[in-house]
Structure 1
Amino acid sequence: MVETLVNVIASIFVLTFGAAIGSFLNVVVYRLPAGISLIYPSSRCPKCFHKLGKTENVPILGWLWLQGRCRWCKTIISSRYPLVEAATGIIFLLVFWRFGYSINTLGYWTFLSWLLTLSLIDFDTMTLPSSLTKSGLVLGLVFQIIIGWQVARETGIINQLMFGIGGVVLGIWLLEIIRIVGSIIFQQEAMGDADGKLMATIGAWLGWKYVFLSSFLACGVGALIGITAMGLGLLNQKQPMPFGPFLALGGALTLFWGDWFLSFYLSFF
C-alpha cells in the first residue's frame, strides 16, 4: 500500500516536472532559430510584449486559465504550447515507468527532450541547429561513459564509449548513403546534411546496435506518411518534407521497444 502511494506521488511529480521542462522546450523552439536569448527577456506575449505573470506561466493550466488568448491584447496563443508541455510530461512519465529510479531515466529524459526540440524546430524551419545536434552528441557520449563506469569502471567506460562512437560513425555514414541513393532515385535532394548529424546524435545515445533499427523505422514511417499525404493531395512529389521528426520518432521507438522489434524480426529467421 505504501509502495503504491509512493509510486503514485512520484508519477505525479514526474508528470509535473516533465510539463515544466516542456514549457522551457517551447521557449527553445521559438527563440533558438530566431537568435533570441533563451534567458532574457522572460516569457511574454509576442504581440503586446506583456510579461506573463506567475499564474499565466504555469504549464498547461496557464493556457487553460487564459482560454488560449493573451490576457491583455486577446491575441490567440497557439494550442501547441500546452500540447508540447503535456507531451513532454507524458514522455517523462513513460521513461520513469520504463527505467525507474536510475541514471538511465535522467539520461533518457535529456535524450528525448533533445529529440522533441529538434523535431519541432525542423518542422517549423526545415533546419536542425548544429548547436543542438552537437551538444546532444556530446551528452550522449558522456552518458555512455557514466553507464560504463557504473557497469565495470575503466573497462566499462572503454566499452560503452566505443559503443557510442560506433553509433555516431555508423549513423553519419548510413544517412549519407540513404541521402545519396534517395537523390539518385528521386532526381532531387532526398534529405539535408543535418539529418546525418541528428542520426549521429541518436547513435551516440543508443549505440551502433540500434542505429540500423532507428533509421529503418524512420524511413518506414516517413515513407508511409509521405505517400499518404501525396495521395490525399496534401503534398506534391517535389515538395520538401522535414525528415528530422521521423528520425526522432525512430530513435524514441527504438529506445522503448528496440529489443522487441529485433526479437520479432529475428523470429522469422
Structure 2
Amino acid sequence: MTTGEYLFFGTFAFLFGAAIGSFLNVVIYRVPAGLSVVHPPSRCPTCEQEISPRDNIPIVSWLVLRGRCRGCGTSISPRYLVVEALTGVLFVLMLLHFGLSWALPAYLYLVAVGVALAFIDYDTKRLPDVLTLPSYAVALVLLLLPAILDGDWTSYLRAVLGGLALLAFYFVVWFIRPDAMGFGDVKFAGVLGIYLGWLSWGHVALGGFLGFLLGAVGGVALMAFTSAGRKTKVPFGPFMIAGAGLTILLGQPVIDWYASLAFGS
C-alpha cells in the first residue's frame, strides 16, 4: 500500500476499532453479570437515564462530557475511554502487520475478544465460557478464508495443531499446579495456540513462554508495589493474552534470532 492508502485504511481501522471498543465496554460490564449485551440500551447506572447517540460516540463523547454523565453528573470511569482507544490502536497495529490480507479479520477478532477477556479476568478472576468456547469456532472459520483463498492449508493445519499443543501444555501445568491458574486459562490457551500456530511453531513456543514470563513479572510487581502477598490470586488471562499479542506483532525477529543461535542459520 502507498502512504496515502496506509493513512486512509489506518484511520478507518482506528475508528472501527474504537467503535468495537465501545461495544466491548458493554460486554465487559454485562457478560460477568449474565446480562444481555444487546438489550436494554446502555444507560447511566446511577440515574438510569438512557445514553443518547450523541453521548455514545467512541472516545469523543467521554472527552466532551469530561468523563461525567450528562444527566446526573456522575463520574464515568476512564476505563471506557481506555478500552475504546486501546482497541482502535490494536486494530491499526494488526492492519500494519498483516496488511489487507485474508488473515486480517481473524486477528481483528482476536484483538476484540482478547481485550474483553483481559478486562473481565482482571475484574472477576475468570474467563467466561460464553466468550472463550465460541472463539474456537470463530478462529477456525475466519482462518479458512486465507486457507482457501490463498491456498495456505499448511498454515491452517499448523494452526489446528498449535491450538491443541498449547491447550495440552496449559492443561498439564494446571493439572500439576491447579493453584497457579484457573481452568478458564486452559480453555482459552487453545484459542491463542490457533492464532500463534497459523504463523509458525516458533510463535507458539514464544507466545506461551511470554505469557508465563509476563505473569511472573506482574506477580512480583504486585507484591512489590501493592499489599498483595504470595497467596493473592492474580488474574493470569491478561498476561497470556498480552504475551500472545506481543508475539504476533513483534515476535518474528526474536524467533529468527533464536533460530540463528540454535541452528547457526
- Aligned letter for 1:174? F
Q: Report the counterpart of residue 204 of structure 1 in structure 2.
A: 194
Aligned 8 A contact 1:145 1:161 in 2: yes
Residues matched between the structures, number? 259
The structural deviation recorded for 1:122 is 0.5
Change (3 A) 1:257 1:3: closer
TM value normalised by structure 2 = 0.92
Q: Report the counterpart of residue 242 of structure 2 in structure 1.
A: 249
TM value normalised by structure 1 = 0.90
Looking at structure 2, the residues matched to 266 and 95 of structure 1 have their Cα atoms a distance apart, in angstroms, of: 25
Moved more, 69-78 or 100-109: 100-109
Instruction: Please list, as runs of the form range in 1=range in 2, the aligned pairs for 1:1-269 lying within 5 A after superposition.
Output: 3-152=2-151, 156-157=152-153, 159-182=154-177, 189-207=179-197, 209=201, 210-269=203-262
Aligned 8 A contact 1:140 1:201 in 2: yes
Aligned 8 A contact 1:180 1:190 in 2: no
Q: Report the counterpart of residue 186 of structure 1 in structure 2.
A: none
- Aligned letter for 2:261? F
Aligned 8 A contact 1:140 1:164 in 2: no
- Aligned letter for 2:110? F
The structural deviation recorded for 1:178 is 2.2
Aligned 8 A contact 2:49 2:71 in 1: yes
Deviation string, structure 1 residues 39-94 (Cα, Å, up to 9, x no partner): 11111101111111121100011011111111111111000001110001100111
- Aligned letter for 2:189? M
- Aligned letter for 1:20? A
Aligned 8 A contact 2:223 2:230 in 1: yes
Task: Give RMSD over aligned pairs.
Answer: 1.8
Moved more, 132-141 or 230-239: 230-239
- Aligned letter for 2:188? L
Aligned 8 A contact 1:141 1:205 in 2: no
Change (3 A) 1:43 1:223: same
The structural deviation recorded for 1:181 is 4.1
Aligned 8 A contact 2:103 2:143 in 1: no
Looking at structure 2, the residues matched to 160 and 8 of structure 1 have their Cα atoms a distance apart, in angstroms, of: 30
- Aligned letter for 2:232? Q
Deviation string, structure 1 residues 97-138 (Cα, Å, up to 9, x no partner): 122212222221111111111111101111101121111111
| Unaligned 5+ runs, structure 1 | 184-188
Moved more, 23-32 or 255-264: 255-264
Looking at structure 2, the residues matched to 121 and 32 of structure 1 have their Cα atoms a distance apart, in angstroms, of: 8
